[in-house]
A and B are shown apart, each in its own frame.
Chain A
């Protein structure tokens, strides 16, 4: 299968930091559209038998479609994937942690080889069409996701109501059914101690700030996910415009503080970046939080031109490659926390050595 890549390599499309705009701060953009079949119970009420029928209906619509993007996708049902493999999809940010918990045959993903298009099947809704791209590219993500939506809709009867819009399992998604989000790397804002203040203001504007693995996850490595909360009373374009505007402002703020740091704290900044690089290139045991925080410092150094030889996409890859499931897949066996820490240090050094050329 083409999409086997998603399990065998670390790289997925959103990591291509040389491709999108603002990738020094906006790591990636995502659009997610929730769609359901009319009158068929939402996934949380599906049993094996009805779930199977639901999957068959979705599958046949997919096979009938002549959309190029859909044709290039592969279907993985969760009985075919090990829990480790499902976890790898979570670590790549392609599916939610909740979705990965299931091993049922009527749940799964439809995905293309570079992981830019991933449809979650029977997660919280029957379909969650997602497009992921590097940098700030929400419009392009929406264009691609909505094309898939249009094509699937030719053969599926989506639940839609004149006033309520697209009907979803949870009333927080009804209306557009759309969640737009950006993943941001904000070390300077965090350093300045202004995080709470900024995030509070963003919250007032109908947006949410979360850790990188979505709802209920902690913030690590100065990465944040910004997304819209409201799905009614605003069109898809409005939602994307709002998120774009806010993101641009946060990006400007981050750049401003970075410039100030470069001017006023040049030595401290270079020292921090240098130390982080030093530890990463010679430590033998690295736990996840320490590695994430050092990688964040190195990334800042790379984005600010202090460390010139490391490629930003390699850092994107590393953030995923050092997660537990990826480490264990690479080693080919289950490992306890200590052995993962050892492997983590090894993987980082390998990757840094490769990119230094």
Chain B
């Protein structure tokens, strides 16, 4: 079927309007449709990853919050605002992760089902992290020892935690 307007290009937009109880069908090609003031809904673009991610960021706030947030909160390092992030689905720099920590938490949970990293730790600058992770692990073992009433082992682990914590100072 060709376009009702130009009669040349194939019609890709079809709609039915009702005038005074009479149904009128119109078939237009994309160009003529736009010329007549029609709006093209670009579904692929609307549902692109950045757009979807961006909407995760802001869906945790109501509109009032949004207005005040987007005007005031900016990353102190790169100047990105929450509004920019929700538009692009991208953060501006590593500092954004702390600047928008609260907004990020639910987004990360939705995307990954978790918001904690459990993988590789860089060797440089990662020593403290490794010590912290070790303490976390020891605390977990301590709980387990207490749960099975192995107090001797619990005391050992407690001492080890104290010893390990010294490395953090």
Contact = CB atoms under 8 A, between A and B. Distances in A.
Given A159-B93, A232-B108, 7 more contacts: A44-B88, A146-B120, A154-B124, A169-B91, A171-B53, A172-B111, A233-B117
Q: Is the interface of A mostly helix, strand, loop or mixed?
A: loop
Interface of B: 49, 53, 77-78, 80, 88-95, 97-98, 104, 107-108, 111-126, 129, 132
Contacts of B107: 171
Interchain residue pairs A-B with the least CB separation, the first 7: A165-B117, A233-B114, A159-B94, A232-B112, A176-B119, A235-B119, A167-B94
Given A150-B123, A154-B124, A232-B114, A39 B108 contact: no
Interface residues of A, number: 43
Given A171-B107, A230-B113, A42 B92 contact: yes
Name, among A36, A40, A157, A160, the residue most crowded by chain B CB atoms within 10 Å (CB to CB).
A160
A45 B108 contact: no
A178 B117 CA distance: 12
B117 A170 contact: no
Given A175-B119, A232-B114, A232-B117, A153 B124 contact: yes
B108 A170 contact: no
Contacts of B132: 162
A309 B87 CA distance: 54
Interface of A: 36-42, 44-45, 124, 146, 150, 153-154, 157-167, 169-172, 174-176, 178, 206, 215, 230-236, 239
A94 B125 CA distance: 31
Contact of A232 (B94, B116, B124): B116
B106 to A, nearest CB: 11
17 contacts: A41-B92, A42-B90, A42-B92, A45-B78, A45-B80, A157-B125, A160-B121, A160-B129, A161-B94, A165-B120, A169-B91, A171-B107, A230-B114, A233-B112, A233-B113, A235-B120, A239-B119
Nearest to B120: A236
A7 to B, nearest CB: 31
A233 B104 CA distance: 15
Contact of B93 (A42, A166, A176): A42
A86 to B, nearest CB: 22
A38 B94 contact: yes
Contacts of A236: 119-120
Contact of A160 (B77, B115, B122): B122
Contacts of B113: 206, 230, 232-233
B122 A175 contact: no
B122 A232 contact: no
A233 B91 contact: no
Contacts of A38: 94
B118 A235 contact: yes
B108 to A, nearest CB: 6
A167 B97 contact: yes
A36 B94 contact: yes
Given A170-B53, A172-B111, A232-B108, A39 B94 contact: yes
A174 B108 contact: yes
B49 A153 contact: no
Contact of B95 (A39, A160, A235, A239): A39
A216 B91 CA distance: 22
A129 to B, nearest CB: 12
Contact of B120 (A159, A171, A176, A233): A176
A172 B123 contact: no
A44 B90 CA distance: 9
B68 to A, nearest CB: 23
A167 B104 CA distance: 12
A281 B108 CA distance: 52
B122 A39 contact: no
Nearest to A215: B49
Given A153-B124, A231-B112, A165 B93 contact: no
A229 to B, nearest CB: 8
B93 A45 contact: yes
Contacts of A171: 53, 89, 91, 104, 107-108, 111
A163 B117 contact: yes
B11 to A, nearest CB: 25
A354 to B, nearest CB: 42
A160 B125 CA distance: 9
Name, among A164, A231, A236, the residue most crowded by chain B CB atoms within 10 Å (CB to CB).
A164
